[in-house]
Amino acid sequence: MKMRAVVVNQAVEGDVEVVERDIRPLEFGEALVEVEYCGVCHTDLHVAAGDYGEKPGRVLGHEGIGLVTQVADGVKNLKIGDRVSIAWLFKGCGSCEYCNTGRETLCRSVLNAGYTADGGMATHCIVDADYAVKVPDGLDPAQASSITCAGVTTYKGVKVSGVRPGQWLAMYGAGGLGNLGVQYAKKVFGAHVIAIDINDGKLAFAKEMGADIVINAAKEDAAKVIQEKTGGAHAAVVTAVSKAAFNSAVDCVRAGGRVVAIGLPPESMDLSIPRIVLDGIEVVGSLVGTRKDLEEAFQFGAEGLVVPLVQKRPIEDAPAIFQEMREGKITGRMVIDMKCACGHNH
């Protein structure tokens, strides 16, 4: 059996190609998923560019949603017809100190979809059944694809920020992750939200999604405005792909504030030691979410509290989508529709 897949090209300079591949037979504990939708995350762009190591030929994608069409021996939790996720947390060892203490995303022998394992940006994907999270009834599958990374990552990030109802949370970056982060922070955690970006269109969208204040960091000093208007945010979550945003986040929080780092630009941030020590600032990284976090994030989507904005595109558009993301042109999320029936000849 064959599948079509979006893979990192041989040059590993940020471009992708659509290829045909064989689908291998299933092994013990695995399931075959016929993918319906897969979102394009900025992490896919980092992987395609070799930002964390070169992976030519890797099938990308960790915002996959599809239907189980085959199960191998040893699969207990899934049956044919179930709708499941293909997430960045593709498979952990299941027995180390991280896997056993609710921190499975930090497992040292983890496999990540679309990076160290072939991912969901394809018509088919073989998954480890134990790590496929079921999509609840009532959640649109294309919207579920966005929650599989962008949603769960920002849901977890806001959780890690410790923000409480009525407090101020600064969301740096209002792209694919940030706009969902605004929604989780506002609608699920009851925070007051400031969205910061360098693109007015994305800020207008963040405002529509519930941001109380929006700031264009290309035109104003975001940290200064936040300190003036709120007395300093209680927490900041950084999804922007820029060191400048991380530095601003440290400056925008009040004493005792926490900065949660999510964006992954391959560079270092500045940390003033007196600022960290004298003002008791915490800076902490947060990586996607556990299977339990994803189950929770899905449920808030199914209940209509969080509504991802998705635009469906055919698989042939993948190279163009990567280019649009590189140029910062995407509002919401571009989602590849693996069964695109748009009427065009592809």
* Residues lying near ligand 8ID in the complex (CB under 6 A): 41-43, 46, 149, 153, 172-178, 196-199, 202, 217, 239-242, 244-245, 262-265, 286-288, 325, 328, 330
By a kind-dependent CB cut-off of 5 to 8 A, residue 263 interacts, out of ligand 8ID, Zn ion, none, with ligand 8ID
> Which two three-digit tokens encode residue 322?
């990567």
Q: Which is nearer to Zn ion, 89 or 215 (CB)?
A: 89
Q: What is the largest CA-CA distance in the chain?
A: 63
Q: Which is nearer to ligand 8ID, 33 or 325 (CB)?
A: 325
Q: Least Å distance between CB 117 and ligand 8ID?
A: 16
Strand partners, 170: 194, 236
CA distance 177 to 194: 15
Q: Least Å distance between CB 248 and ligand 8ID?
A: 7
Q: Which is nearer to ligand 8ID, 39 or 66 (CB)?
A: 39
Q: Least Å distance between CB 16 and ligand 8ID?
A: 15
Q: Which is nearer to ligand 8ID, 48 or 99 (CB)?
A: 48
CA distance 252 to 7: 39
Q: Could you tell me where the beta strands, DSSP code E, fall in 188-293?
A: 192-197, 213-216, 233-238, 253-261, 282-285
Residues in touch with Zn ion (CB under 5 A): 41, 43, 149
By a kind-dependent CB cut-off of 5 to 8 A, residue 202 interacts, out of Zn ion, ligand 8ID, none, with ligand 8ID
> Which two three-digit tokens encode residue 2?
């064959």
Q: Least Å distance between CB 274 and Zn ion?
A: 35
CA distance 32 to 23: 9
Q: Which residue is nearest to Zn ion (CB)?
A: 41
Q: Which is nearer to ligand 8ID, 145 or 199 (CB)?
A: 199
CA distance 145 to 264: 20
Cα separation values, 314 from 6, 17, 32, 47, 57, Å: 11, 13, 21, 21, 20
Q: Least Å distance between CB 138 and ligand 8ID?
A: 25
